[in-house]
Chain A
Amino acid sequence: MALLEVRQLSVRFGGLLAIESLSLEVKEGEVLSLIGPNGAGKTTAFNAITGYLAPVSGEIFFNGEKISGRKVNDISARGLVRTFQKTSVFPNRSALENILIGLHLSSRQSPFAIMLGLPSVAHDERALRGEAERILGFINLSNKKDEPASALPYGEQRLLEVAIALAAKPKLLLLDEPVSGMNPSETASFMAKLAEIRALGITILLVEHDMKMVMGVSDRVVCLSQGRIIANGTPAEIQRDPEVIRAYLGERHRRAIG
């Protein structure tokens, strides 16, 4: 069964119909990449799927349940979590606190228990702290746990972003250009990290421009252009697809490949 099902999705953004009648599926356990030239509608699709934008028409199903029209935090609670194109952390909080916030859904403290200072709260806090440190270790930032997030170098902030999303215990993780701005060695280590995330059983939907990364990690690739899907297949198939080459890589390249 498909974990995520998008049916005939149309989304308006900035006065235009940014996505038109888009249908796609993400199967459980796979890594699907969404590619396409700038303005093709990739981030808009992300925003619509995760509830930041309301679709004009169409439906979205996650794990068999309809999520289109629901609030963002409701969708996240069901296991669909995203990262953002522009670096998004809690700047004045330490790295550890950032992840603690990410663990929001895992915590069961009621306001009354908190205000009364019940021992269950302290117990929960200890457990959360342990979990946060474990996640911080997973992305190799344990030594930075008390650093304010804004003080971290760019590459580490992007890793922290992914860690925050992981803390929310996603079944499906939507990564929006996770390696943009990273140098080749940072990108390579991120690709390895992605494999580890996948090994945890998390399904991944990826938007990326870095073709090496896309071809290296994906099971399937979907290409968007001007709000519509123009190709859908394995990385090898996509690389050879003339439509993709024309829309994305440019006329010159197509002629060069022959």
Chain B
Amino acid sequence: MRASLIAAGLLALATLPLWLDNPYILHVLIVTGIFIIAAMSLNLLLGYAGQLSLGHVAFFGVGAYASALVSLGFDISFFTLKPKPVWFAMLCGIAAAGLCGWLIGRIAFKVRGAYFVIVSISFVEVVRLVAVNWVELTQGPMALNNIPPLNLLGFAFYKKPENYWLMLAVALACFFLVRRLVRSKAGRAMIALAENEPLAISVGVDVTKTLVLAAVVSAAMAGAAGALYAHYVRIVDPDVFLFIYTVTMVIMVVTGGKGTLAGPIVGGLLFGLLPEGLRALAIKPELQWIVYGVLMVLVVYFLPAGIVPALKKRLAWLS
């Protein structure tokens, strides 16, 4: 029963551009999907490894900028790079984000709890200010424009359907990556650290290695989402580093259910599609954010583990 439902759902998702004739909704789905990938990556670090990282959008933005810059080429005083193919640029974006993840992982090991929250927020702000001020490299607030789309074997991903399928493929790959990690020795080590660190180290868990692994994988995944974003929307400006986007990802993970595989998906769909619903009701954006804020507080009070665990109790077949 459950397997066939999931199969049907996946089939509907996979064929969506073929039967959905609304380009706007398709666009919303693509952007929501990209955010869900970012939320899944945050879930690994925040939900499973228990690290209060509020700088997650830094990885997303670094992935976006790095991929965009490598595909556009750039010229700064001491170094010139010629434009490279987009698939290569995307890999660079993932690698750059992963490197930032490695840095954060090492810091997480030294600095704990609430202090780490502060460090992670500060890190993003520094990166954002660099993006704004290093105009030679990033064009600052004037943004990187005309970013080329992905080009595979001569086919350029200009239109929405192919970007939708690309997003779906990456999202599925990331989902299974997280699933494999979580059900393995590495994932158990992360969870162990989050639940009882002194006990975890007493059975041989290496804190540094575990946190660094969680941070690198999480960051690389967010970087992939950022790269997808850069080559779909094809404009990247420093606003991509705004704290509000980290907050959005955190809301998605926490309301969906941190530490569960389906949580970021449910949360992502909810907070990706909710703005559209509210916009249809002609509600001012400020009011919309107030609704989010209130919703977050309510979920924390009444469903502290998130929506998915609460649903799990009622429906035994959602995993």
Contacts and interface: CB of A to CB of B under 8 A. Distances in A.
Q: In the complex, is A directly touching B at CB under 8 Å?
A: yes
Contact of A73 (B184, B185, B206): B206
Interface in B163-218: 176-177, 180-181, 183-189, 191-192, 195-196, 198-207, 213, 217
Contact of A91 (B185, B195, B198, B217): B195
B202 A97 contact: no
B186 A109 contact: yes
Given A114-B184, A115-B180, A125-B184, A90 B201 contact: no
Judged by DSSP, the binding face of A is helix
Interface centre among A73, A76, A81, A82 (most CB of B within 10 A): A73
Contacts of A77: 204
B203 A90 contact: no
A117 interface: yes
Contact of B181 (A92, A104, A115): A115
A81 B200 CA distance: 11
B189 A104 contact: yes
Interface stretch (A17-25, A58-66, A162-170, A223-231): A162-170
Nearest to A105: B204
A191 B169 CA distance: 57
Given A111-B186, A114-B181, A115-B217, A88 B204 contact: no
Given A104-B205, A114-B181, A165-B202, A93 B195 contact: yes
A89 B206 contact: no
A121 to B, nearest CB: 6
Nearest to A117: B180
A115 B187 CA distance: 11
B181 A90 contact: no
Given A90-B191, A93-B195, A101-B192, A76 B186 contact: no
For chain B, which range describes its interface: under 10, 10 to 19, 20 to 34, or 35 or more residues? 20 to 34
A167 B204 CA distance: 11
Nearest to B196: A90
B102 to A, nearest CB: 13
B203 A168 contact: yes
For chain A, which range describes its interface: under 10, 10 to 19, 20 to 34, or 35 or more residues? 35 or more
B203 A164 contact: yes
A84 B199 contact: yes
B201 A76 contact: yes
B196 A104 contact: no
Given A111-B213, A117-B176, A121-B184, A165 B196 contact: no
Nearest to A83: B202
A29 interface: no
Contacts of A81: 202-203
Interface string A78-110: 000110100011111100010011101101010
A73 B207 contact: yes
Given A88-B198, A92-B195, A114 B204 contact: no
Interface in B125-153: none
A56 interface: no
A248 interface: no
Contacts of B191: 90, 93, 101
Given A73-B207, A114-B185, A101 B180 contact: no
Interface string A162-199: 00110110000000000000000000000000000000
B202 A82 contact: yes
A48 B276 CA distance: 58
A157 interface: no
A6 to B, nearest CB: 19
Nearest to A102: B203
Given A52-B198, A84-B198, A104 B213 contact: no
In the complex, the 3 A-B pairs of residues with the closest C-beta atoms, listed nearest first: A105-B204, A107-B185, A72-B201
Interface of B: 176-177, 180-181, 183-189, 191-192, 195-196, 198-207, 213, 217
5 contacts: A81-B203, A90-B195, A92-B195, A104-B189, A107-B185
